[in-house]
Amino acid sequence: MTRTAGINDPYETTNRKIHAFNKGLDRNLVRPVAQGYGYVVPVEIRNTVNNFSDNLSTPGYAVNSLLQGDLASAGVSVIRFVLNTTIGLGGFVDAASELKIADRKTDFGETLSVWGAGEGAYIELPLFGPSTQRSTVGLVVDFFTNPLTFATIEDVPERYVPPVSKGFAGLNNREKFSDTIDSVLYESADSYAQTRQIYLQNRRFELGENSADDFDPYEDPYAQ
């Protein structure tokens, strides 16, 4: 159990086992497939798939902005979704960004933070990777708060479009940030501790929850 330097990790033993599973999955499947995807598919096409996947998440951003009381961001998300779905050819082109309409990504984990819910313990999830109790609840709720979930929940081929597009977007991101991810997973003295630090620091920064005693996420605590 770890609860030092701003880290609450009472499930460390289990988390490390899951991290080992995720690391093995990355080494033997995700990393080589992502490299092949990056080699075969031109970056322009990969980026359009990322745009499409992100557009499918935009209604969820709008819902969470509303729940946070941020009407302006909710309106921006609705406008972005309409523009990208229409003149952006279903979301494959990020027309809204071309028109200088910046996105406002958010999730139910952030909504819970706005509502005052605590971060909870650190958790590493199979396949999904680092998280916290609060963010894990948010991950589940986000599935149901995105209106498109109910538009594709029937047993039709279209139901597979969102998860498949998100999977390809994940492969593209794995290839795009390969050097950084490989450094953390395969060059750190303790990849679990390093992953935990980076995730917590970045997540707290996103939510504006950093404190004065926060740590440097790129400092390997187990390095000699």
CA atoms within 13 Å, Cβ hemisphere of 187: 9
Whether 9 has a pLDDT exceeding 80, the answer reads yes
Whether 220 has a pLDDT exceeding 70, the answer reads no
The Cα–Cα gap between 66 and 76 comes to 11
Joined together, the tokens standing for residue 94 give 């990020």
Question: Where does the pLDDT of residue 185 fall: very low under 50, low under 70, confident under 90, or very high at 90 and above?
Answer: very high
Whether the CB-CB separation of 42 and 158 falls below 8 Å is answered with no
Instruction: Please name the amino acid found at residue 221.
Output: P
CA atoms within 13 Å, Cβ hemisphere of 191: 20
Higher-pLDDT residue of 12, 147: 12
* Global pTM value: 0.85
Work out the mean pLDDT of the chain and round it to a whole number. Answer: 89
pLDDT of the residue at 218 = 47
Q: Residues near 134 by Cβ (< 8 Å), separated by ≥ 6?
A: 109, 112, 113, 117, 118, 119, 120
Q: What is the DSSP letter of 78?
A: H
The Cα–Cα gap between 34 and 26 comes to 10
Whether the CB-CB separation of 114 and 210 falls below 8 Å is answered with no
Whether 157 has a pLDDT exceeding 70, the answer reads no
C-alpha distances (whole Å) from 57 to each of 40, 136, 146 are 26, 17, 7
Whether 3 has a pLDDT exceeding 80, the answer reads no
pLDDT digits (tens, 9 = 90+) for 70-97: 999 999 999 999 999 999 999 999 999 9
pLDDT of the residue at 28 = 97
Whether the CB-CB separation of 190 and 221 falls below 8 Å is answered with yes
Whether the CB-CB separation of 47 and 97 falls below 8 Å is answered with no
Q: Residues near 124 by Cβ (< 8 Å), separated by ≥ 6?
A: 15, 16, 18, 19, 22, 130, 131, 192, 195, 196
Whether 212 has a pLDDT exceeding 90, the answer reads no
pLDDT of the residue at 210 = 75
Q: Are strands 122-125 and 129-132 parallel, antiparallel or unpaired?
A: antiparallel
Whether 62 has a pLDDT exceeding 50, the answer reads yes
